[in-house]
Structure formats: structure tokens, C-alpha cells
Amino acid sequence: MIKQLIFILFISAGIFFGCESSKKPVDQSAGRNSKKAITVPSFNSDSAYYFIQKQVDFGPRVPNTDAHIVCGEYLVNQLKSYNAIVTVQKFSEQAYNGTMLHFKNIIATYNPKARKRVLLAAHWDTRPYADKDVEGRYEPIDGANDGGSGVGVLLEIARILSKNEKPNAGIDIILFDGEDYGEHEDVENTPLKNNLVKIWWCLGSQYWSKNPHIPKYSAYYGILLDMVGASNARFFKEGGSMQFAPKVAQKVWATARSLGYSNYFINTNSPGIMDDHIFVNRDAKIPMIDIVEYDPDSPTYYFGDYHHTRKDNMSIIDKQTLQAVGETVLYTIYYE
């Protein structure tokens, strides 16, 4: 995922993101105690951690590599083993550097007949370059957090759904491909002939949002997970989420608060960023938030210092963070 480009995209769309901070108290009634007793199964962060380790063990999941192919097969098989209806959406597209890339969006469906649906998503590809490192800036990264963590949490949720009574809402899990193949830091974005700037990031979500796996597919709302596994991560209410889906953000942050996770889910806004949720909102018209780590003190803007470096490996993954995010998402969907 990348910062800043959001402004390019939305200047042309005539939308501008405010980034005022919200000081309003969270409505606690939206939490777990407000409705009739619902049994929410427990989220197992050991299991989520294991799923991240499995992905990392394949090697960097860079499109057009063997690790990408084998990991994609693993994800499909895992989701099938958790009794999901699995759809693999294959497509090919050119990258910014002209390479033809072969992608797979992997979609798992639970309770297909439910009209009210919640969409959960993460990206399963990893950045081909450690372009924020000082050395080895054309080497790929493990992407334990950037990519791996969101997928790990969603695989654990799939496992839970297969073993327990399901929530009333239908759940769709989409693992987007091609999120992180944007331009190397050394390369300038090149405007196309019509002067529009092509967004080379988020290729899987851009494709799916215009070509959903089921024609006219929609969902009540969506939650995107990106970089949700680092130690002491903080999740602010991100600008794009607040622009498109403020009620969803309020609901999720209130749930986190009711579970005692206000130290992870900070009740303040952060600037908007380019991530998969932008296309799901803009093109698929599904209100989707992004739970994404924001470091207000970051020396390189927005993300932790591991971002797009080889530091993004298993050593930064923390089960407590996975627990906070996983439990919050699980309570949110079971109370829907």
C-alpha cells in the first residue's frame, strides 16, 4: 500500500479528504453488551500467527514466482478445508514496468443465501522490492505484516466459521492479489496520454471492484485488514474509511473499545491512504473501512519503519496485536 497517491485520485474525482481529529467519545452501546446474548467463538492468535508463518515460509509471494503460485494453492485449499465456497478469479495485467503479471483474487463465501453480507479482505501478494531499505532495494520482502498478517487473521476467522455456529450475516472473505506491485521508489509515476495517472497499486481490488465474482454483488459493508500484526500497532480511523464509511468505523472502534482494546484502536482520525478499500468504495460502491497501522511519529511518513523493508519479517509479528484485531472483527461480524 502506498501513501499520498490518494490525493491524485481524488482531485480528479472532486473529493477531498479532511483529516480533522475526532474527539467524540465512543458510543459504548454499540459494543458486545448492548444486544441479546450472542456467543462469539474465541479467536486464537496462535493459529493466526501460524498462518502468517506458513505464508512467509513459502518465500516472498511476488506475482509470477513459484512462491506466489504455491501460496495461492495453499490459501485455496485451506479455505476449502474450512468449508467455504471458494472462487478463484484469475486475471492478467501489465505492471508499471511493462511486465505481464498473472494474478488470482481468492474469494471464500459463507452462508451464500444470506442477503445481508459482510465483506472481509486483505491482500496476499507481497512487495517485490525492499525499496525503503538502504541496501538490497531490489530484493523482495517477507511481507509478514504487509500482506501476511491480514491473511493470517482472515484464515483464522475462516477456521472459526467452519467449526462454530455462524453469524446471521453472510460472510465473504476476499484475498486480493497485486496490491503491492506499485512503482519502485526510484520511479516516477508516468501520466498516461489522457493525463490521468494510472494507479499501479491495488490491481486485484481494482479488477474485482469492476468485475465482481458474482454479477451485481454487494455487501452491507466491508472491513479491510492491512498491517495488523506488528507489536504495539495503533489503528487510527483512516481518512478514506471516514470519507466513505464513517459509521462502519465508529461501529468497529466502539466494539474494540468494549473489548478493552482502546490502546490499539485509537479514537482519532489519520490521513487517508491508497489501499484496496478505496476501489471497493469507489467502484463497487460498498462502504469499506481499512484497519491499517498508522504511526504518527514515523520518520518515513505513516507506516512503521519495517514498511517495504526486509525488517517486515516474523520478528515484528505480535500475537497480542493479532488478538486485538481478530477478536474485534469477530465480535463485529457476530453482532451483525
| Residues of the shown chain interacting with Zn ion in the complex, contacts defined by CB under 5 A | 1, 127, 146, 180
Minimum gap (Å) between residue 2 Cβ and Zn ion: 7
Q: Which is nearer to Zn ion, 3 or 213 (CB)?
A: 3
Nearer CB in complex with Zn ion: 131/146? 146
Q: For residues 150 and 287, which CB has a smaller minimum distance to Zn ion in the complex?
A: 150
Helix (H, G, I), strand (E, B) or coil at 7: helix
- Residues 106/72, Cβ–Cβ less than 8 Å: yes
Smallest gap from residue 61 Cβ to Zn ion (A)? 12
By beta-carbon proximity to Zn ion, the closer residue of 177 and 180 is 180
Give me the DSSP letters along 200-240.
-S-HHHHHHHHS-SSTT---SEEEEEES--BTT--EEEEHH
Residue where the block lists cell 494453492: 73
Question: Which residue lies nearer to Zn ion by CB, 167 or 304?
Answer: 304
Rounded Cα distance between 124 and 47, Å, is: 17
Report the nearest approach of Zn ion to the CB of residue 100 (Å). Answer: 21
Smallest separation (angstroms) from Zn ion to the CB of 24: 31
Distance of alpha carbon 297 from alpha carbon 19, whole angstroms: 16
**Measured from the CB atom, is 1 or 157 closer to Zn ion?**
1
Task: Mention every residue, 6+ apart, whose C-beta is less than 8 A from residue 283.
Answer: 206, 209, 210
Q: Which of 61, 127 has the CB closer to Zn ion?
A: 127
CB atoms within 10 A of CB 182: 25
Please state the closest distance from residue 155 (CB atom) to Zn ion, in A: 19
Show the CA angle centred on residue 197, arms to residues 94 and 222, nearest 5°: 80
Give the separation between CA 212 and CA 208, rounded to whole angstroms.
5
CB of 252 to Zn ion, least distance (A): 22
Measured distance CA(232)–CA(220) in Å, rounded: 31
Give the angle 192-194-196 at the CA atoms, nearest 5°.
60
Element (H or E) spanning 102, and its range? strand 100-110
Place of cell 478445508: 81
- Strand partners for 175: 106, 122
Rounded to a whole number of angstroms, the minimum distance from the CB of residue 169 to Zn ion is 29
Beta carbon of residue 53, minimum distance to Zn ion (angstroms, whole number): 19
Determine the Cα–Cα distance for residues 126 and 35; give it in Å rounded to an integer.
40
Minimum distance, C-beta of residue 176 to Zn ion, in the bound complex (Å): 12
Cβ atoms of 299 and 127 closer than 8 Å: no
Closest CB to Zn ion among 172 and 180?
A: 180
3-class SS shares of the chain: helix, strand, coil, % to 5 = 35, 20, 45
Nearer to Zn ion, 161 or 202 (CB): 202
